[in-house]
Structure 1
């Protein structure tokens, strides 16, 4: 109360800080259960913020959300949904502005401020109103809009889009970016000396200009229209095949509006078919599920006989409750979260002791929002490109080009890789099936060539992959330079220092810690590049029109996992670059086994089988063989993105 009166005396009755003091006093009353006293103060703060800051300011969203939590605490579900919907809508609009214009740090920081309301929306449905259809739709809409957005944000995902626009549209996009930047500066850093009326007028004018530019671009560019279209349940639902289901898994922390506290993290799943309302299931705390994940991963990657036992244990916690909601649906568009990004669901074991691959057709997505991206199909600009068996010790032979600004993790400097002779045989076998393909091996297997070959029909890279776990930029984790990968397409993973935080505050961009080793990698010299093709560089490639990317290397599907964000690594980078589908690995794969798998996979693709189903059929064949029946061999590779047949 003293702060409120002081704000009024020093700043005047109509000032944003006065609204903040009103809001804080209301929160105090709410925390004491004095709801009747809290409500009018929250409403005063809301109206003052609307007057002073405009209808769509982040502080207005905060006031709306606080009123929603107040009504939630009193069991007034309908009113809570009304205010929560308004608050989340404002946050979404501001998120679009920041993601399109802000610096990498601004984007990450703003996304972090929204995690609380993301959890709150899911908790409101699952914990407070599990039988309310509107609460379910609000939670799922929020999930579809926000899951995976940070990685979209930290990558300049407009750069590749700009490459595919006409010169006229490129200018429109530049004008839009500039307008959004001015708008973001006004909204998030209001000038103190700018009168309220002028402030609101400038915001309104900039929003009007941005809307006009967006409309012009949307009319003339299908890719821009797809990338910027509002995400709704109905939009996603229309893109789900009639015989399939989207399974959107999320990690969330249950939020208690009465005590303003978050509980232990849970896994939950939303199931969406092409028609009907979404279904859901809370799978319980993440800790026991993650422990089962670790046991399953260990059994898989080590090829032990515990794989069926651990696969059954994890299935019982994870997929069995989801199957109860699926009915007869066997085609799954699966969007995992958290540690579930790092396992092949196809190798889980059901109650009949069968692997899920035997009864389910599984395709992976980072988020159901990917279905919208897949509608913007483009034509390939080049024939298939196969890059294999790089000469890691010698500088690559490349065309003349300007050296790119290739920043990368400092720890990569110490990595060394040995040759992979099996990848050369793999490339030869694939060339027999794709005679029109360009094959590059040894010193020609360079990152320059990949960067200078836009939109190949297929991009197949057979080499070593790497992923370095979190390191603090101020004190990088030391690496033993004597570590060298073996001939199983091995990968070196740098672990955090003992006793360090698993998620340091100041971490390096994960897309700089994941990548592929190309010609000249061991010398960090390759033509105009350094032989290190990071995930950040991959995300900047122009792969619009590329129907399939196969990374025939170790652990190319893994990366830094953040709840709600998928895998920060090669998998998401390739999707952002524009490729329709990806096939990647989850652990160190055998050189010979991979060659056999890839050869059979391309044979099936040539026969017109779907990109995911072709891989499944190869896996089923390996499962029946005496040599490759263990899931270690057949389940390492997973398909993501577009699942339907390629246009041959």
Structure 2
């Protein structure tokens, strides 16, 4: 991968034991580097992970940096012990294999006191190395299948979805888009069986619920849903889906029965990489991040690097919503918003709530 992408990568295993934290680092050398942190036993670690999620997702904190304390503590426990080794090996991409309970940690929000981790590293979350497709295929000059819904029977509308799909399939990338009544399971299966789409983008509501896999779903048109336990039946393992983008809420959440939720199962079912979220995301924040992501996907060899650049642009305040427009840093800098969002003003998409919940699951390449 280093030879094909020009970027050095490392795999980081995080094991949370009752008495201590264990970090196992693998670089190109192949020799494991093992660190243990007695201070960060499982209970303490989980408490700080929960605190970070709460501080980032609480609407009352959107204009504060209340997340910094837990973000720095987690950085000190998870990253600082291996920092010297990462620097010595010139690592730029980190693949995290997380212990149970840590898989919804927004790694992108970890902070060293001066910088977020995404200012230095591209990141991905891997269910396991054995499930990863280690082949490299560039995405430039490929087609995207963009499907989604903006109107729902039992969910609130998502007025930004039509703009998101049109922007992705017709301006930022090339491909086909299908909205609302065209967003059915039959149509999704027909399209993926009839054409070779290396990128599939689904913009809709979704939820991962604990318990049986059939409790969790991606919402299609009307009352139709893709249940978590039916993901394998989509046949994506027989196609060449390089990247599945789930532009929806809580699609990377999971429990012990379905590691990393829809994203993990999609990777297990044959999709190489999945971009998904670990909490309920905002409509306008998602539009901003997705626009930036596709803007950068064409000029980088690593998918996780495109996500890092999108998150970095939002962090730096280069993505704002003002005067009925989404203004970004990418190729197409201005996107006119639909009338339902015309009065929306949001100049603070720099808060981690808007960008840190999105995670690349599976191969970062």
Does residue 427 in structure 1 map to residue 120 in structure 2? no
Match for residue 294 of structure 2? 602
User: 2:72 is matched with which residue?
Assistant: 312
Q: Secondary structure at the match of 2:10?
A: strand
CA contact (8 A) 1:341 1:561 kept: no
State the TM-score, normalized to the length of structure 1. 0.46
The separation in 1 between residues aligned to 2:355 and 2:43, in whole angstroms, is 28
Indicate yes or no: 2:121 matched with 1:360.
Answer: yes
**C-alpha distance in structure 2 between counterparts of 1:582 and 1:378, whole Å:** 15
What's the offset of the Cα at 1:391? 4.2
Larger radius of gyration: 1
Equivalenced residues, count:
321
Going from structure 1 to structure 2, the CA distance change for 1:266 and 1:515 (only over 3 Å counts) comes to farther
Give 5+ residue unaligned stretches, structure 2.
Answer: 318-346
Q: What does 1:169-318 correspond to in 2, within 5 Å?
A: 243-252=8-17, 264=18, 266-284=20-38, 285-303=41-59, 304=61, 305=64, 306-318=66-78
Superposed, which structure 2 residues align to 1:14-25 within 5 Å? Answer: none
1:538 to 227, 231, 234: 231
The equivalent of 2:335 in structure 1 is none
Structural mapping, 1:288-437, within 5 Å = 288-303=44-59, 304=61, 305=64, 306-328=66-88, 329-350=91-112, 352-371=113-132, 373-375=133-135, 383-389=143-149, 391-393=151-153, 416-433=154-171, 436-437=174-175
Give 1:573's aligned residue: 265
User: Residues 585, 430 of structure 1: CA spacing in aligned structure 2 closer, same or farther, 3 A cutoff?
Assistant: same
Change (3 A) 1:289 1:251: closer
1:474-520 deviations in Å (ceiling 9; x for gaps): xxxxxxxxxxxxxxxxxxxxxxxxxxxxxxxxxx3xx3232201112
Alpha carbons of 1:239 and 1:283: their partners in 2 closer, same or farther (altered >3 Å)?
Answer: farther
Quick one: structure 1 residues 287 and 360, their matched pair in 2 at CA, closer, same or farther if it must change by over 3 Å?
A: same
1:161-199 CA distance string (max 9 Å, x none): xxxxxxxxxxxxxxxxxxxxxxxxxxxxxxxxxxxxxxx
Could you tell me which residue of structure 2 aligns to residue 465 of structure 1? 206
Structure 1 unaligned runs (5+)?
Answer: 1-235, 253-263, 394-415, 471-507, 522-530
What is residue 556 of structure 1 aligned with on the other side? 251
* Equivalent residues in 2 for 1:482-493, closer than 5 Å: none
Q: Distance in 2 between matches of 1:378 and 1:535?
A: 29
Name the SS of the counterpart of 2:210 in structure 1: coil
The equivalent residue for 2:344 is none
Residue aligned with 1:349, SS: coil
> Structure 1 or 2: larger helix share?
1
Alignment of 1:516 onto 2:211: no
Give the RMSD, CA atoms, in angstroms. Answer: 2.8
Question: Shift in Å at residue 469 of structure 1?
Answer: 1.7
Residue of structure 2 equivalent to 1:212: none
User: Residues 384 and 242 of structure 1: is their aligned pair in 2 closer, same or farther, counting only changes over 3 Å?
Assistant: closer
Alpha-carbon distance in structure 2 between the residues aligned to 1:435 and 1:283: 45
Q: 1:629 aligns with which of 343, 350, 353?
A: 350
**Structure with greater contact order relative to length (CA < 8 Å, sep ≥ 6):** 2
Contact 1:330 1:359 in 2 (8 A): yes
Q: Please say if residues 271 and 279 of structure 1, whose CA atoms lie closer than 8 Å, have aligned partners that are also in contact.
A: yes
- Structure 2 counterpart of 1:84: none
Q: Which residue of 1 aligns with 2:326?
A: none
Match of 1:613 among 302, 305, 319: 305
More strand by share: 2
* CA deviation after TM superposition for structure 1 residue 270, in Å: 1.1
Contact 2:181/2:221 (<8 A) preserved: yes
Post-superposition shift, 1:443?
1.3
Corresponding residue SS for 1:290: helix
SS at match of 1:281: strand
The separation in 2 between residues aligned to 1:610 and 1:377, in whole angstroms, is 10
Q: Secondary structure at the match of 2:29?
A: coil
| Residues 420/375 of structure 1: CA separation in 2 closer, same or farther (3 Å cut) | same
Compute the displacement of 1:353 (Å).
2.7
- Secondary structure of the 2:360 match is strand
Question: CA 1:348 to 1:319, structure 2 compared with 1: closer, same or farther past 3 Å?
Answer: same
Q: 1:238: Cα distance to partner?
A: 11
- The whole-number CA distance in structure 2 between the counterparts of 1:327 and 1:266 is 25
Relative to structure 1, is the Cα distance of residues 447 and 237 closer, same or farther in structure 2, using a 3 angstrom cutoff?
A: same
Change (3 A) 1:561 1:311: farther
Pairwise CA distance, 1:385: 1.4
Inter-CA distance 533–265: structure 2 relative to 1 (3 Å threshold): farther
Q: 1:450 — aligned with what?
A: 188
> Which segments of structure 1 move beyond 4 Å, counting only runs of 4 or more?
236-242, 376-379
Q: After TM superposition, give the deviation of residue 608 of structure 1 in Å.
A: 4.3
Q: CA deviation at 1:540?
A: 2.6
SS state of the match for residue 234, structure 2?
coil
Question: Structure 2: how far apart are the matches of 1:593 and 1:457?
Answer: 25
